[in-house]
Amino acid sequence: MSWYMKTLAALTLLMTATLAMAQQPMSTNATVTTTTTTTASVPATEVSGNIVSYNATTAILVVQVPDAAAPVTYTTGSSTLLVDYASAPITVDFLQAGLPVTVYSTAAAPNAATKVMLMKYKK
């Protein structure tokens, strides 16, 4: 048998052994661990009104809500989502007095805005 035939036979044996091992079932002694994480659902609150003021230094947004005796003050931060009415991201430069907004927060922190949606731009 030539060197070429011996090499071909060895490769054929190797491939056959590899395929046979790949088709063998895995050990049934394997341990599977499942972890389940449950997150409590915190209801969101939604308030619509007009911006009274926004202070970028203190990150305080003041909104006048219809039928409310006094304006509502919200804190904003880096995690607050700022979007327009089409859900496109905006910057704090768009938060100007007199513009209509909808402010979203959680029941756990009702004065910490999670999302501010600007309903109209001032050009």
Give the CATH number of the domain where residue 61 resides. 2.40.50.140
Structural domain tally of the chain? 1
Q: Is the pLDDT of residue 19 over 70?
A: no
Average pLDDT value for residue range 16-34: 55
Tell me whether residue 6 is in a domain.
Answer: no
Tell me whether residue 16 is in a domain.
Answer: no
The dihedrals phi and psi of 115, each to the nearest 5 degrees, come to -150, 135
Instruction: Kindly report, residue by residue over 49-98, the tens digit of the pLDDT.
Output: 999 999 999 999 999 999 889 999 999 999 999 999 999 999 999 999 99
Rounded to an integer, what distance in angstroms lies between the CA atom of residue 112 and that of residue 61? 10
Buried b (16+ CB within 10 A) or exposed e, 90-111: eeeebbeeeeebbbbbeeeeee
- Closest by Cα among 13, 19, 99 to 54: 99
Tell me whether residue 25 is in a domain.
Answer: no
DSSP state of 108: S
pLDDT given for residue 121 in this prediction: 75
Q: Is the pLDDT of residue 20 over 80?
A: no
Mean pLDDT of all residues in the chain?
80
Tell me whether residue 36 is in a domain.
Answer: no
Tell me whether residue 110 is in a domain.
Answer: yes
Residues whose CB is less than 8 angstroms from the CB of residue 26 and which lie 6 or more positions away in sequence, other chains included:
none
Domain residue limits at 78: 44-118
Tell me whether residue 105 is in a domain.
Answer: yes
Tell me whether residue 99 is in a domain.
Answer: yes
Tell me whether residue 19 is in a domain.
Answer: no
pLDDT given for residue 39 in this prediction: 47
